Amino acid sequence: MVTIKDVAKATGVSPSTVSRVIADNPRISPDTKKKVRKAMKDLGYHTNISARNLVVKSTKAIGVIMPSSADKALQNPFFPEILRGIGSVTHRMKYSVTLSSGQTEEEIYEEVQRMVFGSYVDGVILLYSRLNDRVTNFLIERGFPFVIVGKPYENVNGITHVDNDNFTAGKEITEHLIDQGHEKIAFIGGSKDLFVTIDREAGYEAALQEAGHEVSDSYKIHTEFLKSGGREAVENLMSLKTPPTGIVVSDDLMSVGVLSMLEESGVKVPRDVSLVSFNNVYLSEIILPALTTVDIQIHELGAQSAKALIEKTVNKTEPVKRISIPYEIVYRDSVSRLP
């Protein structure tokens, strides 16, 4: 096994200098760092992370917590993309990522407890924000560093979070349908206790009210953020006495289910029903018709959440941040103008 002493001998510097290069000490010259790092690579030396972490009291790892069981969540392209964003930062900063794999809320809660009490990670990113969440409350009580992707619930201040303006995005995408002559507009959203759904739905309602159109409960459906959820929602909507001519869907994957169900029912998009969505995952561009959707910059949400968390773990006095990632509506083929 190659040791620090072997690297020191090969480069003609002291073992303490090699240690300082490993720690990226700014006092060591770039030339020396380059020479030592080359020798480490040539000799096949690897830093003993565990030993180093005992000294600096850091795991150089962060936990990432999914909103539901990982196998179910990862069916939605949103999550691999946000993990790619997180990974782009952790890779550069030489951090590792521990992903929650619990199947139920209880299992996820126990997993977070193990991460915190076992000192497996320096901090945690929550990839969701929901009302009365046990995990969030536990992290607050423990004073453990964490960042939320989404908007924290209103009565809690002092939580660093990374989010889009989902209310305005919901309003703007609904206004696009209204501008195209639609009045009977439905909303299909995920769980009612997720803030992302609450905000997008509130924006949808505000757009209808401002235009003087009715907000009907029969036009609002909440289901899982999965393809199967979208299918069930469509059956309910299209069986109404006055079916909608436009639908706002709060997630692209759900829109795929909506599209296939409409197709099966003989309803054509956008000829018979116009459809708009959120997230701009790669699926939204390749399905037919391609979806008009809100690009929320998923990769950037992940990258900024990882950056903010690592800053918090390195500097305990890091101020609370509210990071807003801009969104953009991508206009494609799923909307038609009413005659």
Phi-psi region of 158 (alpha: psi -120 to 50; beta: other; left: phi over 0): left
Domain boundaries of the chain, sorted by first residue: 4-45, 61-159+299-324, 166-296
Model confidence pLDDT, tens digit, residues 269-309: 999 999 999 999 999 999 999 999 999 999 999 999 999 99
pTM exceeds cut of 0.75: yes
Residue 53 has pLDDT above 60, yes or no: no
Residue 121 CA to residue 108 CA, distance in Å, equals: 15
pLDDT of residue 54: 46
pLDDT of residue 232: 74
Q: Which CATH fold topology does 61-159+299-324 show?
A: Rossmann fold (3.40.50)
**For the chain, what is the mean pLDDT?**
90
pLDDT of residue 233: 77
Structural element, H or E, at residue 20: helix 15-22
Tokens standing for residue 197: 């759904």
Residue 219 CA to residue 198 CA, distance in Å, equals: 15
Q: With b meaning 16 or more CB within 10 Å and e meaning fewer, what string describes 154-177? A: eeeeebbbbbbbbbebbbbbbbbb
Residue 319 has pLDDT above 50, yes or no: yes
CB 178 within 8 A of CB 185: yes
CB 162 within 8 A of CB 193: no
For 4-45, give the CATH class: mainly alpha
CA 239, 244, 250, 253 dihedral sign is: positive
Q: Which CATH fold topology does 166-296 show?
A: Rossmann fold (3.40.50)
Residue 49 has pLDDT above 70, yes or no: no
Domain 61-159+299-324 and domain 166-296 have a common topology:
yes
Residue 122 CA to residue 267 CA, distance in Å, equals: 51
Question: What is the DSSP-derived secondary structure letter of residue 61?
Answer: E
Residue 155 pLDDT class (50, 70, 90 cuts): low
pLDDT of residue 229: 66
